[in-house]
Chain A
């Protein structure tokens, strides 16, 4: 029977939630790395027991953790007991060394001046679809790094910052690569999204990148309607069967592209607000999309104190609220950009976490919801593994 493993990153540690395919009786493991901010935990599609976690602290900086047994034990890559006994001598302790390639350069600052690039933390780790030792890290200040040795060392793919990086600017939450999508049909193609840099694509494995923002409008942020970079893209998502179709939740508007980002069009339709963070696609229905509308960029909580996921079964424009099982009064939590995921069971499960510490699960494609846990620290990220 299938098993579900939900990987939750929070403000004060990581939690692992497990259940069988019924998704009713959950076991909670954690906190792992108690007291540290866990921006993201994600498993390798090529080896589900290989997990990567980004552990950060305002005091002690960045740590990368890796598990090779599904989250039971963890080590910073290169420092497991076996590796410490290796004939190669002491490990170098470089699994948390994120150094920009060459001259770090500058980007746009809040006052319009140029500001030096400074590494702060890893927001998102995207493991390769085929090799458990390969993964990409999206970091703040915005850049993408790659490991080919299971996280022991990381090297920047500097071509991304050459895509007009001097015009990227931090939003209120910082300036980070927060989304990395790997094309399952073309390993040379990668998409990334940056707040507030925009959306970018490489077709040569990360050597060169180009902005893919035609059709995006950010009038209150970028008066120039033809601006290629600087858009505050909150999240992008794709269905693996159609990697040229992307959906986007932007600071304003929900959009889609049908040609790998060459042209976007707005599909906000009847959504109650134009603002939100996460967006995801149903596991088996490529035209079914989920978002969580948030009242505005000034308030960051659900409209009318009612927590509702919105689902479109038509690839956008026509949206229906999903509220069964979710709080419908006095609810003022937020759902952050990396805090929604779907499983791949026949009846697709949808999951999201809130800044109030709840993780909700719908085992019926969004029709009804149940809390898995209610009182975790603020949830930063949710990922789901469907295990055989």
Chain B
């Protein structure tokens, strides 16, 4: 079971409170976690990564176990603590004003 923390606006969009818990089949990577998240909540498609290219949107960041994984290739395996559900995978709206 992988735990995911969504930013405020995406929690509202997906109509969830608190963390999201997902079963991820196969290797636990950024891509497989996002695939599972979007399968459960189709409304999130296009909000975290581009619909067409699947590239991370510029002002969305990925954190886990106090590391910034935003620039890692999507196939990179997530830390075991995330795969085991001990630590959450954080999807964060980058800091910006306005």
Residues of A in contact with B (beta carbons under 8 Å apart): 35-36, 57-63, 76, 78-79, 90-94, 96-99
Contact = CB atoms under 8 A, between A and B. Distances in A.
Given A35-B9, A36-B9, A60 B42 contact: no
A57 to B, nearest CB: 7
24 contacts: A59-B7, A59-B9, A59-B57, A59-B60, A60-B13, A60-B48, A60-B60, A61-B46, A61-B50, A61-B57, A63-B47, A78-B42, A79-B43, A90-B42, A92-B45, A93-B38, A93-B43, A93-B44, A94-B51, A96-B45, A96-B46, A96-B51, A97-B51, A99-B52
A94 B46 CA distance: 8
A227 to B, nearest CB: 33
A97 B45 contact: yes
Interface in B5-28: 7-10, 13
Interface of B: 7-10, 13, 38-39, 42-48, 50-52, 57, 59-60, 93-94, 96, 98
In terms of DSSP, what is the predominant structure of the interface of chain A?
loop
Given A59-B9, A59-B93, A99 B51 contact: yes
A60 B10 contact: yes
A283 B96 CA distance: 43
Contacts of B9: 35-36, 57, 59-60
A93 B7 CA distance: 19
B39 to A, nearest CB: 7
A96 B7 CA distance: 19
B38 A60 contact: no
Given A35-B9, A78-B42, A93-B38, 9 more contacts: A58-B96, A59-B7, A60-B13, A60-B48, A61-B57, A76-B13, A79-B43, A91-B42, A92-B45
Nearest to A35: B9
A85 to B, nearest CB: 14
Contacts of A61: 46-47, 50, 57
A93 B42 contact: yes
A57 B43 CA distance: 15
Most buried by A among B38, B45, B60, B93: B45
